[in-house]
Amino acid sequence: MQEERLNKRQVKGMLKQVLNLTLIQHTIRTATPLILAALGGLLTEHAGMLNIGMEGMILLGSFFGVLGSYYFGSSLAGVVLAGLVGLVVGLIFAIFVIDLKSDEFIVGIAINIFAGGLTVFLLRSIFGVKGAFSSPDIIPLPRLNFPGISSIPFLNVILNNHSIFVYLSWIFVALIYIYLYKTPYGIWLRASGEYPEALETAGVSPKKMKYIGSIVCGILCGFAGSHLSLGYLTLFTENMSANRGFVALAAIIFGTANPIKTFAAALMFGFFDALGIRLQVVGVPSQFTQMIPYVATIVALFILTKRQLAKKKRDREGAA
Amino acid sequence: MNSKLFKKDLEYIVSLVLSISASLLIGALIMMANGRSPAVGYGALLKGAFGSKYNMANTFAKTVPLVLTGLATAISFRSGIFNIGGEGQLYLGAFAAAYVGITFTTLPKGIGIILAIIAGALVGGLYAFVPGLLKVKYKIDEVITTIMLNTVAVFFTSYLVNYPFATTRGKLNGTEIIADQFHLSRLIRLSTLNTSIFFMGFIALLIYYLMEKTSTGYDFKLVGQNSLFARFGGINDRRQMIIAMVLSGALCGLAGVFEVLGVHYRFLQNISPGYAWDGMLVALIVKNNPIGVIIMSIFFGALKTGSISMENATSIPSELVLVIQSIIILFIAGEAGFKEKFKEWNAGRKVKQKAGERNA
């Protein structure tokens, strides 16, 4: 009897340890690279290309972020270098998929393996270390504090003292939403994936729009990587992207490539990631919470297509 | 007809050789940029891959998972259904084999091993059946579902070996060691080469026969080229796709089984360093040709084994070969496009030449 009560108290204590404000703070933090990469990936998705090379692009961004920050002594240099490398890889993806008509997922797989090999190769040949590189000379990204909300207890913990990309990613969500749905360029980009012939007739090159989508995707994935390696901990470790590119892909599919829905999906997946890490601290297996984004995506796809099929059937019956 | 086909094959082999040479050249440039001699580097690589009985054994040991996952890719891709989930199927197959090996410890040697093999193939096949069914029945993109299922399997097995099946001896993130009679015998001292290579050879022969010599294999090809056309030709394209997917998953499961029975003797949390991805590259490079898969697997196995010796001899990190491999696949992926561009460029040049002649 007494034991049971003790267990209850333990559980309560554990819950308190897990479910608190820090969890929200961690969610925001872990969701940021997902948001950045997913925003990029949804552009290629709209342009009609499935980009599974995001994983590798993020990894390259992490490495070159550290490299730039270490050599130039400025986090901005790290971010710029990471973005540039992302741009180049996005360009390569575009050249192969659009001009050379390669299979997009083969190119994606090649990029992932290339990134895994190159980062470890450079880690060892430039820094002479295996596994991880960290140094006090790597300058972290600046953290922002808004004095206006520092006196408000909840918001202070949740919103203040984040790396700059956290706030930038939110701005990017709005920008990309406006770009996609409120400007002609956005319509062109979407048309390049859905109705390339129509776009061609309208005098806009679908190829150009696809290139833009792919390049911006590369840059954003590069940023996502630099947030990982310069945002909170300043270090690079082998395979640092740890499936985030695939989770970002999941967020895009879950959010039907709509920037706001994708943002929400990325936040949700970030939440489960943060929850998993905190559960692990109190000794609960984290694997199941980590699985959620992947399983959720399959379930969402299933529901989505079932609904579509049902709608088609209704339409057909209606027509008859 | 036949000579035309032959010419196409020959053309492809030429581009393949060109792609591989160009990638090795890029590798050489990277070595030079690091202040190392490519001749010494590649020399050490070659020696490390084939220089002695032990090295050769290691090269062939590395081909076992590559051939199996490569054939798995070849079967599915040729049928027009893209199984990218090999890694997950491999993990589950490996775990199934380990489970059999630590549970049925009283079985006699032969039967135990066969049971483990069947269990791994079955689990891998079933895990591939799910995305196959989703694709055929609901038209859900199998590329996405198999990618997602990869990670699910890795996390699930990670849970299993950290909690219910964690070894009590040391913190290894693995299961207990499987019973002695499940261990496949090693063939060369100190090398991990084991009898699984014979199993692999037998399986590869079966798959080759199935793909190239039977009507089922021909149906796979037809479905892959044009499923609608195949359907009009009286082939049940959906059934073929599912069969291809399940076979593909079973092969990946087997790759995992042999890692457990022949190499590690237990399931480990990170049992595969991406074998299924490598196998996929192998198959893609040779355009899903089963014999090509075997040759290319030996090449990749040699690169992997040799890269360690290269690192020891020249201190060039062994990961260089990953870079080389990914560049090969990029070139091959763009092969058709490169050819087209070259033809366009060539045609343009000829037109210009003719125009020039006329003007003169």
CA neighbours within 13 Å on the CB side: how many for B264? Answer: 22
In a domain, A230, yes or no: yes
DSSP 8-state symbol, B195: T
Q: Strand, helix or coil at B267?
A: coil
- The tally of domains found in chain A comes to 1
Local confidence band at B1 (pLDDT 50, 70, 90 cut-offs): very low
- pLDDT in tens for each of the 320 residues of chain A? 444 555 777 777 777 777 778 889 889 999 999 999 999 999 999 999 999 999 999 999 999 999 999 999 999 999 999 999 999 999 999 999 999 999 898 899 999 999 999 999 999 999 999 899 999 999 999 998 888 887 887 888 788 888 999 999 999 999 999 999 999 999 999 999 988 988 988 888 999 999 999 999 999 999 999 999 999 889 999 999 988 999 999 999 989 999 999 999 999 999 988 888 888 777 788 898 889 889 988 998 899 888 888 888 888 877 65
- Give kind and range of the element (H or E) at residue B277: helix B275-285
Q: Are the Cβ atoms of A121 and B341 closer than 8 angstroms?
A: no
- Other beta carbons within 10 angstroms of residue B227's beta carbon come to 18
Q: What confidence category does residue B347 fall into, taking pLDDT thresholds of 50, 70 and 90?
A: confident
Using an 8 Å Cβ cutoff, are A100 and A67 in contact?
A: no
Assess contact for A111 and A54: CB atoms under 8 A: no
Q: Helix or strand or coil: residue A236? A: strand
Q: Which single residue is written with the structure tokens 């990914």?
A: B326
CB contact under 8 A, B329 and A121: no
**Which residue ranges make up each domain of chain B?**
64-284
Minimal Cβ distance to A125: which of B34, B158, B340: B34
Alpha-carbon distance of A272 to A286, in angstroms, equals 9
Distance from CA of A305 to the nearest CA of B (A): 7
Each as own residue / partner, the long-range contacts of residues A305-313 (CB below 8 Å, 24 or more positions apart, any chain) are A305/B138, A305/B139, A305/B140, A306/B138, A309/B138
Q: Is some CB atom of chain A closer than 8 A to the CB atom of B330?
A: yes
Asked, for residue A160, whether it belongs to a domain, the answer is yes
Give the pLDDT confidence score for residue A1 in this predicted structure. 42
Q: pLDDT band for B215, please (50, 70, 90 cuts).
A: confident
ipTM for the predicted complex:
0.88
CA dihedral A159, A163, A166, A167 (to 10 degrees): 70
pLDDT at res. B120: 98
Separation CA A164–CA A40 (nearest Å): 18
Instruction: List, in order, residues 6 or more apart from B45 with CB less than 8 Å away.
Output: B303, B306, B307, B309, B310, B321
pLDDT at B180: 93
DSSP letter at B194 equals B
B323, B327, B328, B340: which to substitute to probe chain A, counting the most A Cβ within 10 Å? B323
Structure tokens given for B91: 């993990």
The pLDDT score that the predictor gives to residue B41 is: 93
In total, chain B counts a number of residues equal to 360
Task: Judge: B319–A106 Cβ closer than 8 Å, yes or no.
Answer: no
**Rg over CA atoms, chain B:** 23
Query: Which position has the higher pLDDT, A100 or B227?
Result: A100
* Radius of gyration (C-alpha) of chain A in whole angstroms: 21
Q: Is B316 on the interface with A (CB under 8 A)?
A: yes
pTM of the predicted structure, to 2 decimals: 0.91
**DSSP code for A162:** E
Mark yes or no for CB contact A249/B159 under 8 Å: no
Residue B334 near residue A102, CB atoms below 8 Å: yes
Look at residue A2 in the predicted model and tell me its pLDDT.
46
Per DSSP, A134 falls in state: E
Interacting residues of A103 by C-beta distance below 8 A, sequence separation 6+: B333
**Binary contact (B138, A105; C-beta < 8 A):** no
**A259 in any annotated domain:** no
Task: Answer whether A291 touches B (CB < 8 Å).
Answer: yes
Q: At which residue do the structure tokens 């000794």 appear?
A: A283
Residues facing A144 on adjacent strands = A162
Q: Is residue A245 part of a domain?
A: no
Place of tokens 């020399």: B43
Q: B200-206 contacts: CB < 8 A, separation 24 or more?
A: B200/B63, B200/B64, B200/B67, B200/B68, B200/B258, B203/B68, B203/B71, B203/B251, B203/B254, B204/B67, B204/B68, B204/B71, B204/B290, B204/B293, B204/B294
Residues from chain A contacting residue B149 (CB–CB below 8 Å)? 294, 298
Q: What is the pLDDT of residue A179?
A: 96
**Closest to B139 (Cβ–Cβ): which among A99, A290, A305?**
A305
- What are the backbone angles phi and psi of residue A183, rounded to the nearest 5°? -120, 155
B303 phi, psi to nearest 5 deg:
-60, -45
Asked whether the predicted pLDDT for residue B4 surpasses 90, the reply is no
pLDDT class of B5 with cuts at 50, 70, 90:
low
- Tokens 């069969």: give the residue: B243
Q: How far apart are CA A265 and CA B107, in angstroms?
A: 49
Residue B186 has pLDDT above 50, yes or no: yes
Q: How far is it, in rounded angstroms, from Cα A104 to Cα A109?
A: 9
> What sections of chain A are H helices per DSSP?
2-18, 21-46, 54-72, 75-94, 104-126, 153-159, 164-182, 184-194, 196-201, 206-230, 244-254, 259-281, 287-319
Mean pLDDT value of segment B225-230: 81
A100–B341 CB contact, under 8 Å = yes
Domain assignment present for residue A165? The answer is: yes
Bridge partners, residue A236, by sequence: A133
Longest dimension (CA), chain B: 90
Rounded Cα distance, A91 and A216, in Å: 9
CB atoms A118 and B323 under 8 Å: yes
Instruction: Specify the length of chain A in residues.
Output: 320
Q: Is A8 within a domain? A: no
pLDDT tier for residue B54 given thresholds of 50, 70 and 90: very high
pLDDT at residue A126, rounded to an integer: 93
Kindly indicate the confidence band of residue B9, based on its pLDDT and cuts at 50, 70 and 90. Answer: confident
* Parallel, antiparallel or unpaired: strands A235-237 and A132-134: antiparallel
Give domain status of residue A248, yes or no. no
- Residues of the domain holding A71: 20-240
